[in-house]
Structure 1
């Protein structure tokens, strides 16, 4: 029997996109999955939209928080109840291509890797392709990941059987980066990237990546609070981050024709 994959999706006021996100899971060619949606205190119709899917799909579950506690809490709550041999993440505004899980699980088995991610395409708020693809690094070790987050969270999968349940620290921002650092460290081996694009990542106008000043602040807290580096060490890594983010990482972006 094919391995069970636990898909963790935090939601917070995700009404505009959540139905399409869930549909992309239902269309997976790998059918042995459970989708755990963790609502973080939505005040719109997110929960109602999710419940229409639950009534027809017993492998979809909804956990609800009383108040907004952040994406780290939501992800960790989902991981806590997950039953799968693998954990995968899908953010509430992103979309998976139908072959996503099948391709990655076959790749992980073939390459004997315990942490895997993939290339992904960019779309805008309305789902229109931006004709850009972010190419996954073939090999990603801990030291490289320390310089900048090279794993698109909705592309990531890790093996629970090999690593146990890896959770995120309780930071409001960039906690997914720290989760992948923990996973690679626990593995003791590099993560490996599928070169095929398997995900559509939605670029929002008010996203963290679009605000460079906020990005710098939250990255500093990754080093200072998340990894507990000294102030000097944190600042030294921030210099490395600037070099990586502005001069090296852009080389992963490819312009493509999606018309």
Structure 2
């Protein structure tokens, strides 16, 4: 019997995308998974759409929060409910290639790893390809991750038998980066599956679509998560911006 993968999906007002996201999971060639969707008090049809899928597929599990508590809280809630050996992450507007889970689980086992991720491609809000692929160093070190988040949340998987269930503070943004930093502190280096296995949707209303809008959240990683003082955190932000502008672009490919 294959190892169970718990797929963590926080949702909030994603009625336009959630059907395609769920279907991309149902289309996986690796079938031993549970999809834990935690709805953060949506006011649209998101919950009703999920309910329709859950009625016909027992692997899809819906939990509803009574009040809007933020993406980080919803993700932590889902992790606590997870039963799988592996925990994978997927946002409610992103998509997986059908071979995604099978490729990554095989990669983890073949190389005796406890954590991995992959490259991914960009699509626009309507699902059209933007002909852009985001890659990462093939041997990602903690130092590299410290200055730039190379790990796409929609591609990451970790082994709970090695790490346990990792629960972080519920920050508005960059909770994923803090999670990868926590993991890399333990294993020092991570290997991605060196191919694209997912589609990241660029939304017009998404704060993540602008690197500069995320500056204050990136700063908080250095100031609050690492506990550095104001001046050192500011200097690290300068280094972060340098990496974003001059180093990370070398890991972006036109396709």
TM interval, shorter chain, is: over 0.9
Q: What is the CA–CA distance in structure 2 between the aligned matches of 1:221 and 1:107, rounded to whole Å?
A: 33
Q: What are the equivalent positions in structure 2 for 1:122-133 lying under 5 Å apart? A: 122-133=122-133
Alignment partner, residue 192 of structure 2: 193
Query: What is the Cα deviation at residue 22 of structure 1?
Result: 0.2
Deviations 1:56-99 (A, max 9, x none): 01111011111111111011000001010000001000000000
Q: What are the equivalent positions in structure 2 for 1:81-230 lying under 5 Å apart? A: 81-186=81-186, 188-230=187-229
Q: What are the equivalent positions in structure 2 for 1:20-39 lying under 5 Å apart? A: 20-39=20-39
Contact 1:169 1:226 in 2 (8 A): no
Alignment partner, residue 72 of structure 1: 72
Contact 1:115 1:190 in 2 (8 A): no
**Within the alignment, does 1:237 sit opposite 2:240 as a pair?**
no
Q: Which runs of 4+ in 1 moved over 2 A?
A: 206-213
Structure 2 unmatched runs, 5+: none
Higher mean displacement: 36-45 or 63-72: 63-72
Higher mean displacement: 31-40 or 228-237: 228-237
Alignment partner, residue 46 of structure 2: 46
Contact 1:86 1:157 in 2 (8 A): yes
Alignment partner, residue 15 of structure 2: 15
Higher mean displacement: 205-214 or 52-61: 205-214
RMSD value over aligned CA atoms?
A: 1.1
Q: What is the CA–CA distance in structure 1 between the aligned matches of 2:226 and 2:45, rounded to whole Å?
A: 37
Deviations 1:29-62 (A, max 9, x none): 1110000000001000000000000000111101
TM-score of the two chains, using structure 1 as the length reference: 0.96
Count of residues paired in the alignment:
255
Contact 1:75 1:168 in 2 (8 A): no
Distance 1:144 1:2, change over 3 A: same
Query: What is the Cα deviation at residue 25 of structure 1?
Result: 0.5
Query: What is the Cα deviation at residue 211 of structure 1?
Result: 2.8
TM-score of the two chains, using structure 2 as the length reference: 0.97
